[in-house]
A = this chain, B = another copy of it.
Amino acid sequence: MTAAKGFRAAGVTAGIKASGTPDLALVVNDGPSFAAAGVFTGNRVKAAPVLWSQQVLKDGQLAAVILNSGGANACTGPEGFQDTHATAERVGAELNIGAGEVAVCSTGLIGQRLPMDLLLPGVGLAVAQLSETGGEAAAIAIKTTDTVHKTAQAGGAGWVVGGMAKGAGMLAPGLATMLVVLTTDAAVESAQLDRALRAATRTTFDRVDSDGCMSTNDTVLLLASGAAGVTPDEAEFAAAVEQVCADLALQLVADAEGASKEIRIEVVDAATEDEAVTVARTIARNNLLKCAIHGEDPNWGRVLAAIGTTDAAFDPDRLDVAINGVWVCRSGATGEDRTLVSMKDRQVVITARLNAGTAAATLWTNDLTADYVHENSAYST
């Protein structure tokens, strides 16, 4: 994120996590512009920081983002909202800005209050550590079950879009248990930031579905400092934002909890893009298929059984399915020899041809493994 001029960041250990690893990140926009946009979880059960951040973003301006791991501050009632408010107030006081210019993001266990006696002093610590090279430290501090921290960047002549993300499970439509902060030093108004961000998330984060579970805390923010003094072409800027989002989205899939395979699901020749997405998502959520992929079994019957539960336009006798390029199902029945399919690689491609039109969509998911079960049953996350 600090690749973009005009931003400083920090990642510190406030003590929120029992593990003693970094758990508090701060990103500050030093301007001259403070334009910002955000996209939030579609879950109707929204964490306090989501409700807060939606509110402060209404004017399209942000000067800072404070993010903690170690607790989602979701389902914590009015007290939880007050905790978020107090966090923003503390950041504002330390930076001499208004609390209404501070977005708050939290991730971790749902249903527990945050340890404010540790978090608030941590804010001071983070402010003291702010640096123009602090982007990586911030990316590390927002990890939960992530095994690696995630950053990306893209850009054009004289300007850059940078970003960080966390998320390793609960990845689903309307985003994921996922916090993303993008920064740019381009001079872009908030309305344009909003268009670029919504367009990019629609085809990147919204097309990642690790386990069909939608989080209460998903937040994607885009802040523009204008420090580069350059206003890029709208399409070029949108492409850079999409590139960074796509890069981060694939990093999320690659780090999904317990996964041993990344599965790219391509639905082609659909009647509409929406139907292609629906079919792809239904395939992505089929536990039986996800187990089969884990077992390197090209079980195309489970793909058809999944497609058959949708109301997309298709004729069951005209469905074709390829796994890693081998058309194992043609016209709804056995096609090429399934023993021709090699599934040794970590990446698996499933192509479903609906033969109902010309629309298409691609969505990413993972296999379902015993490690996923262990990771999500052994302790509360």
Contact B75 A213 (CB under 8 A): no
B-side contacts of A77, CB under 8 Å: 317, 331-334
Interface residues of A in 9-35 (CB under 8 A from B): none
Q: A304-B75, A333-B76, A373-B370 are in contact. Are A285 and B212 (CB under 8 A)?
A: yes
Shortest distance in angstroms between A81's beta carbon and chain B's nearest beta carbon? 10
State which residues 282-299 of A face B: CB under 8 Å: 285-288, 291-295, 297, 299
Q: A45-B304, A300-B111, A370-B370 are in contact. Are A288 and B75 (CB under 8 A)?
A: no
Q: A317-B77, A334-B76 are in contact. Are A215 and B369 (CB under 8 A)?
A: no
Residues of B within 8 A of A329 (CB): 75, 111
Contact A333 B301 (CB under 8 A): no
Name the CB-closest residue of B to A307.
Answer: B45
Neighbouring B residues of A306 by C-beta, 8 Å: 213
Contacts of A74 in B (CB 8 A): 301, 304-305
Chain A, residues 319-353, CB within 8 Å of chain B (1/0): the string is: 10000000001011110000000000000000000
CB <8 Å contact, B45 and A332? yes
* Distance in Å: Cβ of A256 to nearest Cβ of chain B: 12
A378 at interface by CB-CB < 8 Å: yes
Report how far A74 CA is from B169 CA in the complex, Å. 33
Cβ of A308 within 8 Å of any chain B Cβ, yes or no, is yes
Given A301-B111, A302-B110, CB of A370 within 8 Å of CB of B380: no
Q: Which residue of B109, B334, B373, B378 contacts A368 across the interface (Cβ within 8 Å)?
A: B373
Taking the complex as formed, is A376 at the interface, i.e. its CB lies under 8 A from any CB of chain B? Answer: yes
Does A43 sit within 8 A of B, measured CB to CB?
yes
Please state if A45 and B109 are interface contacts (CB–CB under 8 Å): no
| Inter-subunit contact B110/A301 (CB<8 Å) | yes
- A286-B213, A316-B45 known; A372 vs B301 contact (CB < 8 Å): no
Q: Is A96 in the interface zone, CB < 8 Å from B? A: no
Contact of B333 with A45 in the complex, beta carbons under 8 Å: no
* Copies of this protein, total: 2
Residues of B within 8 A of A368 (CB): 287, 373, 377
The A interface is mostly helix, strand or loop, or mixed, namely loop
With A297-B377, A378-B295 known as contacts, the answer to whether A305 contacts B369 (CB < 8 A) is no
Give a binary string over A349-373; 1 marks a CB under 8 Å from any B CB, 0 the rest. Answer: 0000000000000000000111011
* A286 CA / B370 CA spacing, docked (Å): 16
Min CB–CB distance A307 → chain B (angstroms): 7
A46's partner among B113, B293, B316, B380 (CB-CB below 8 A) is: B316
Minimum distance in angstroms from A274 CB to a CB of chain B: 17
> B214 contacts A309, CB within 8 Å?
yes
Q: Which of B72, B216, B309, B378 contacts A44 (CB 8 A)?
A: B309
Residues of B within 8 A of A308 (CB): 43-46, 214, 216
Sampled A-B contacts (24; CB under 8 Å): A44-B307, A45-B305, A45-B316, A75-B304, A75-B332, A76-B333, A76-B334, A109-B301, A110-B301, A110-B302, A111-B334, A112-B334, A169-B288, A170-B288, A213-B286, A213-B287, A213-B306, A215-B305, A287-B368, A288-B376, A292-B376, A292-B380, A295-B376, A370-B370
Chain A positions within 8 Å of B, measured between CB atoms, are: 42-46, 72, 74-77, 79-80, 109-113, 169-170, 174, 211-216, 285-288, 291-295, 297, 299-302, 304-310, 314, 316-317, 319, 329, 331-334, 368-370, 372-380
Further 16 A-B residue pairs, CB within 8 A, beyond A45-B316, A113-B334: A75-B301, A75-B329, A77-B317, A110-B301, A170-B288, A174-B309, A211-B288, A212-B286, A213-B287, A216-B304, A287-B287, A287-B376, A292-B376, A297-B379, A370-B373, A373-B373
